[in-house]
Amino acid sequence: MANEILFFMEVVVGGLLAGTMYSLVALGFVLIFKASATFNFSQGAMVFFSVLAFCGFMQDFNIPFVLAFILAAFLMVLVGLCTERLVLRPLMNASEDTVLMATIGLGYVLEGLAQAAWGVEVRRLDLGIGDFPVPWIADNLKLFISALDITAGLVAALMIIGLFLLFKYTKIGLGLRAVADDAGAASSIGIPLKHIMLLVWSAAGVVALVAGCMWGARAGVQFALVDLALKALPVLIIGGFSSIPGAIIGGLIIGATEKVLEVYIGPFFGGAIEGWAPYVLAIFFLLYRPEGLFGEKIIRRV
Amino acid sequence: MKPVLMTYTRRDIINFCVLMFLGLIIIPTFISTEYWYTSILIPWLCLALATIGQQIVMGYTGQLALGAAGFMAAGAFAMFNLILRVPDLGFFGSLIVSGLIAAAFGILFGLPSLKVRGIYLMVATLASQFFIIWMIDKFGWFKNYDSSGIITAQDIVILGKPFTTPLAMYLVCLGVTAVLTLLAMNMARGSTGRNWMAVRDMDIAAESMGVSLLKTKVQAFAISAFYCGVAGALFAFCYLKSLEPVAFDIKLSFKILFMCILGGLGTINGAFIGAAFILLFPVLLNSVGNNVFHGAIDATIISSIEQVIFGLLMIIFMIYEPLGMAKLWENFKQNIKSKLSSSSIKNLKSSPLKNLKK
């Protein structure tokens, strides 16, 4: 009996930690949604693009780890700059749906560019953190939890605290919130919309790079990352599109539920229900609470 | 009830006759290479049909859906099982029933559209995509317990005659597509389509005018899934000649979305233009790569470049002409007309993106 409880705990904890990986991807979506009410469908492609570039710098040009990371982050800022200048600014007054379509296009461009520049084969990314159980925890708590999962959890926590402080206490954060509330009013009192957008897209790019490193270390740097990133969508629906804590809680819920369902219910259906369970969970959330746990209520006027 | 053909103008009927003449007589007499039928014409017709399905739900009813390939898979595997288990139905009977089965899935996964819209709905429809593929993959019954993963599609037999040559299959596809396209055009211009467009342009306003949102949205999803299901069955039986769930993955859904948007939202001819473009462009790019650079460029690079170009086109169209290639064609015709006759009346049509523009 005790073993079963322990096993259940292990499944839940593993799921929660895997959920933080989803949260990391979802965070990028939330950043952009918060500042511009734009849903950036290309976030998944940005994850793929950034980490592939990072790997490329390291493996093809033999650039040391830290420098490669900085270069890749710089590249993402450049992507943000181009996106702001070439995609978002011309679509300033377009509707949400039009911008959404444009970001799907942007995702295609990034995926294509990444593959053209760095090739299509799966790359290994070694962060120096093993994807195996930490011996100390395994001995003392009898739980098998991967070191990579713990690192991802810590990184996610750090990023959230950082972003939270940025939004809450800095002048930039105040500007961001003002733009998110009403872009027109914010720009009329002199908040530079362009800079805010650039900042947000760059930040989302760097978040994508971090998320990509975590995923890449686990599953290899490959095209499937883009599909994995799609799982951030149910996370967002559960947590709410405009809430940073929501992204985290949503990720944890999805991660834990998905693992528990897979382990306890999956075998009855031949397994692999992880692929769609999060989406179905999201549908149920949509039916009862469309704005998510922490989102703002959606009000539409005729 | 008005007779079906009465609402068409004379010009429509002439256009239709010209197209059918082209499709039934000119193409079969002048094109004899199998490549054209098996690699271009048949997939074009099938994908155009699926794109019409996407158009109905997205272009006409304004609901962002991203699960076309899932419904196609449902149609394809329903067809396989119907031919296998209920041989009395015949080819067209099975085709219609498999469309109806896909439509049932469409209704089920279209229900969230009553509560949510935009990106939220997109996620709900993604569920259908992943769920249907998983279901087919995991339950052996759907694949008749075939362990190889790829099932060969049965030969098409209509009234005891086999339709197995590329030309015959092309004619089957053409016939089905022509009938369904006519039906779609009729629905789009009739009260059904007007309800769809009313919901698209402002659902709350439409509801207060007495349009039932439940009925309209569910109907759109059902009809859309029916079209996708039939298209999927044709796609599997005439083009792929095999059935495997992987062929209907999320990439195909995106492809159909691109066909729909680049072709022109809310137009039937846009579906054909978009499908032709997305299908032919890679062929063109490959032949340029082979003939101009003589294979100096790697095939993976060419496919990456193709992806970049599709993405760029999407962005460019969203910025400059959100109504897609059908609108460009319309503008072109308008230009010619106004050059021919100085007094031109501007064509004012309800636009699917009117509610999208502030």
| Distance, CA of B256 to CA of A41 (rounded, Å) | 17
Write out the residue range of the structural domain in which residue A67 sits.
2-227
| Distance, CA of A124 to CA of A218 (rounded, Å) | 9
- Determine how many CB atoms are found less than 10 A away from the CB of residue A62: 8
The per-residue pLDDT for range B137-170, each reduced to its tens digit, is 888 788 878 777 678 888 888 887 888 888 888 9
Q: Look at residue A301 and tell me whether its pLDDT is greater than 60.
A: no
Q: How confident is the model at residue A125 (pLDDT cuts 50, 70, 90)?
A: confident
Question: Inter-chain contact B123–A234, Cβ cutoff 8 Å?
Answer: yes
Is B125 strand, coil or helix?
Answer: helix
Q: List the single residue in B with minimal CA-CA distance to A90.
A: B319
Q: What is the pTM of this model?
A: 0.88
| Distance, CA of B234 to CA of B176 (rounded, Å) | 9
Contact B108, B67 (CB under 8 A): no
Is B284 strand, coil or helix?
Answer: helix
Q: List the single residue in A with minimal CA-CA distance to B114.
A: A287
User: What is the pLDDT, as a whole number, of residue A221?
Assistant: 82
Q: Which residues of A touch B73 (CB under 8 A)?
A: none
Q: How far is A134 from chain B (nearest CA, A)?
A: 34
- Determine how many CB atoms are found less than 10 A away from the CB of residue A37: 15
Q: Report how far apart, in Å, the C-alpha atoms of B157 and of each of A292, B92, B189 are.
A: 51, 10, 35
Question: Inter-chain contact A112–B123, Cβ cutoff 8 Å?
Answer: no
Mean pLDDT of chain A: 84
Across the interface, of B126, B139, B311, the residue whose CB is closest to A108 is B311
Longest CA span, chain B = 68
**Candidates A49, A85, A95, partner chain B, best to mutate (most B CBs within 10 A):** A95
Across the interface, of A108, A111, A279, the residue whose CB is closest to B126 is A279
Query: How big is chain B by its Cα radius of gyration, in Å?
Result: 21
Sort residue A134 into left (φ over 0), alpha (ψ -120 to 50) or beta.
Answer: beta
Question: Inter-chain contact A279–B358, Cβ cutoff 8 Å?
Answer: no
Q: Which residues pair with B158 in a beta bridge?
A: B161
Q: Report how far apart, in Å, the C-alpha atoms of A65 and of each of A70, A203, B267 are.
A: 9, 20, 52
| Distance, CA of B47 to CA of B53 (rounded, Å) | 10
Residue A265 lies in a domain: no
Q: List the single residue in A with minimal CA-CA distance to B313.
A: A105
Q: List the single residue in B with minimal CA-CA distance to A238.
A: B120
Question: Inter-chain contact A97–B64, Cβ cutoff 8 Å?
Answer: yes
Question: Inter-chain contact B134–A104, Cβ cutoff 8 Å?
Answer: no
Question: Inter-chain contact B304–A115, Cβ cutoff 8 Å?
Answer: yes
Q: Which residues of A touch B130 (CB under 8 A)?
A: 275-276, 279
Question: Inter-chain contact A116–B304, Cβ cutoff 8 Å?
Answer: yes
Looking at residue A48, its amino acid is: F
Across the interface, of B112, B122, B301, the residue whose CB is closest to A116 is B301
Q: How far is B116 from chain A (nearest CA, A)?
A: 7
Residue A62 lies in a domain: yes
Q: How confident is the model at residue A302 (pLDDT cuts 50, 70, 90)?
A: low
Q: In chain B, what are the domain boundaries?
A: 31-356
Q: List the single residue in A with minimal CA-CA distance to B306.
A: A112
Q: Which residues pair with A45 in a beta bridge?
A: none
**Chain A, chain B: beta-carbon pairs less than 8 Å apart:** 148
Q: How confident is the model at residue A131 (pLDDT cuts 50, 70, 90)?
A: low
Question: Inter-chain contact A279–B124, Cβ cutoff 8 Å?
Answer: yes
Q: Which residues of B touch A119 (CB under 8 A)?
A: 300
Contact A273, B128 (CB under 8 A): no
Which of A122-136, B163-177, B256-270, B321-335 is least confident?
A122-136
- Helix (H), strand (E) at residue B36: none
Contact A43, A228 (CB under 8 A): no
Across the interface, of B134, B300, B356, the residue whose CB is closest to A275 is B134
Question: Inter-chain contact A115–B138, Cβ cutoff 8 Å?
Answer: no
| Distance, CA of B215 to CA of B79 (rounded, Å) | 27
Question: Inter-chain contact A100–B315, Cβ cutoff 8 Å?
Answer: no
Question: Inter-chain contact A227–B250, Cβ cutoff 8 Å?
Answer: yes
The per-residue pLDDT for range B254-313, each reduced to its tens digit, is 999 999 999 988 888 899 999 999 999 988 888 887 777 776 777 788 888 899 999 999
The per-residue pLDDT for range B26-52, each reduced to its tens digit, is 777 777 788 888 888 899 999 999 999
Question: Inter-chain contact A276–B130, Cβ cutoff 8 Å?
Answer: yes
Q: Look at residue B349 and tell me whether its pLDDT is greater than 60.
A: no
Q: Look at residue A191 and tell me whether its pLDDT is greater than 50.
A: yes
Q: How far is B174 from chain A (nearest CA, A)?
A: 31
As a whole number, mean pLDDT of residues A31-44 equals: 85
As a whole number, mean pLDDT of residues B159-184 equals: 88
Strands annotated E in B127-219: 151-152, 156-158, 161-163
Q: Which residues of A touch B120 (CB under 8 A)?
A: 237, 286, 290
The per-residue pLDDT for range B54-99, each reduced to its tens digit, is 999 999 998 888 889 999 999 999 999 999 988 888 889 999 999 9
Q: How many domains does chain A have?
A: 1
Residue A89 lies in a domain: yes
The per-residue pLDDT for range B193-235, each reduced to its tens digit, is 999 999 998 888 898 888 899 999 999 999 999 999 999 999 9
Residue A273 lies in a domain: no
Which of A146-150, A280-284, B53-57, B133-137 is least confident?
A146-150
Q: List the single residue in B with minimal CA-CA distance to A99.
A: B318
Alpha helix (H) residue ranges in A83-192: 96-118, 135-140, 147-169, 171-181, 183-188
Residue A297 lies in a domain: no
Find the length of chain B: 358
Question: Inter-chain contact B358–A93, Cβ cutoff 8 Å?
Answer: yes
Contact B272, B304 (CB under 8 A): no
Assigned token pair, B285? 């790019």
Overall CATH class of domain B31-356: mainly alpha
**Candidates B120, B207, B260, B351, partner chain A, best to mutate (most A CBs within 10 A):** B120
Residue A256 lies in a domain: no
Across the interface, of A97, A269, A280, the residue whose CB is closest to B118 is A97
Burial pattern B316-343, b for ≥16 Cβ within 10 A else e, equals bbbbeebbbbbbebbeeeeeeeeeeeee
Assigned token pair, A241? 């599109």
